[in-house]
Structure 1
Amino acid sequence: MSESSQSDPRGELQIRTLAMPADTNPSGDIFGGWVLSQMDVAGGILAATKAKGRVATVAVDGMTFYLPVFVGDIVCCYGDIVRIGRTSIAVNVQAWALRAHSTERCLVTEGVYTYVAIGSDRKPRPIES
């Protein structure tokens, strides 16, 4: 899916944060790793809510970067559950940017994050329905 083919986010808003100068790469754009970490937090919130407990990230699949994120953009991460297994949850996470000093919203990246529910022993545990 290209960024221009979607006008509304998929799923529900999980986090919103402001892209700051400390989050830039050497070219002055927001570092892709920072965006990925925000997406991981967002997906983890949704997965932990569904799993009713602690989860750990085990995979990130199909990451696609469409547009850069700039200093001053408000980054909004949306999550939508794709699949629930016995111990794992796959979440489609989209990052949208509200451009600074504008009402323009654009899809900047998306991917599927997989989390495993873990118990106090840090081992996988079944997800309750």
Structure 2
Amino acid sequence: MSGGELPPTGEPAIRVVAMPADTNAYGDIFGGWLLGLMDQAAGVVAARYSRGRAVTIAVDGMTFHRPVKIGEVVSVYADMIHVGRTSMKIEVAAWRRIRNGEETDKVTHAVFTFVAIGDDGRPRVIEQDLSNTPKGV
């Protein structure tokens, strides 16, 4: 590990291989592609925790530390850090690994804010029955 920071110990919410179609003219993966993966990972956690539809309303503090290259494995970890009445804050970090190696580096991180919504598209209260919280959230 060259970055000095240890990767999360749990399972990632999403893991994918960076492909040529996801790059800019220099062979680096587009930041928007990575942002989309992170939004999907946070969405998985938000929907599972709120037991229904949840939408992204903000992304705070996105910082890119290293580029991602074609063929590298990107693992995105998402952890719930705050639950309000209708909203959730989820910390998301993306890590890269050379496809045939073990060394990992943190690529970027951010905090995503989601709001649980009902069928009518309006915010709904998140039921916080902690005895029934899914594992891994």
The TM-score normalised by the length of structure 2 is: 0.88
2:124 corresponding residue in structure 1: 125
Alpha carbons 1:10, 1:79 under 8 Å: kept:
no
Alpha carbons 1:30, 1:70 under 8 Å: kept:
yes
Deviation at 1:115, TM superposition (A): 0.5
1:111 corresponding residue in structure 2: 110
Change (3 A) 1:67 1:37: same
Alpha carbons 1:12, 1:79 under 8 Å: kept:
no
Deviates more, 1:98-107 or 1:82-91: 98-107
Mapped pair 1:20 → 2:19: yes
CA deviation string 1:19-69 (max 9, x = no partner): 000000122100000000000000100011110101000000011110000
Mapped pair 1:81 → 2:80: yes
Structure with bigger strand share is 1
Q: Give me the whole-angstrom Cα distance separating, in 2, the residues matched to 1:8 and 1:97.
A: 10
Tell me the number of residue pairs that the alignment of Structure 1 and Structure 2 aligns.
127
Deviation at 1:8, TM superposition (A): 2.2
Q: Give me the whole-angstrom Cα distance separating, in 2, the residues matched to 1:79 and 1:10.
A: 12
1:6 corresponding residue in structure 2: 5
Q: Give me the whole-angstrom Cα distance separating, in 1, the residues matched to 2:82 and 2:31.
A: 26
Q: Give me the whole-angstrom Cα distance separating, in 2, the residues matched to 1:8 and 1:82.
A: 17
Q: List gaps (5 residues or longer) in structure 1.
A: none
Q: Give me the whole-angstrom Cα distance separating, in 2, the residues matched to 1:19 and 1:64.
A: 19
Q: Percent identity?
A: 50
RMSD between aligned residues = 1.4
Q: List gaps (5 residues or longer) in structure 2.
A: 129-137
Change (3 A) 1:11 1:90: farther
Alpha carbons 2:7, 2:95 under 8 Å: kept:
no
Deviation at 1:11, TM superposition (A): 5.9
Q: Secondary structure at the match of 2:40?
A: helix
Query: Highest Rg: 1 or 2?
Result: 2
Q: Give me the whole-angstrom Cα distance separating, in 1, the residues matched to 2:28 and 2:21.
A: 10
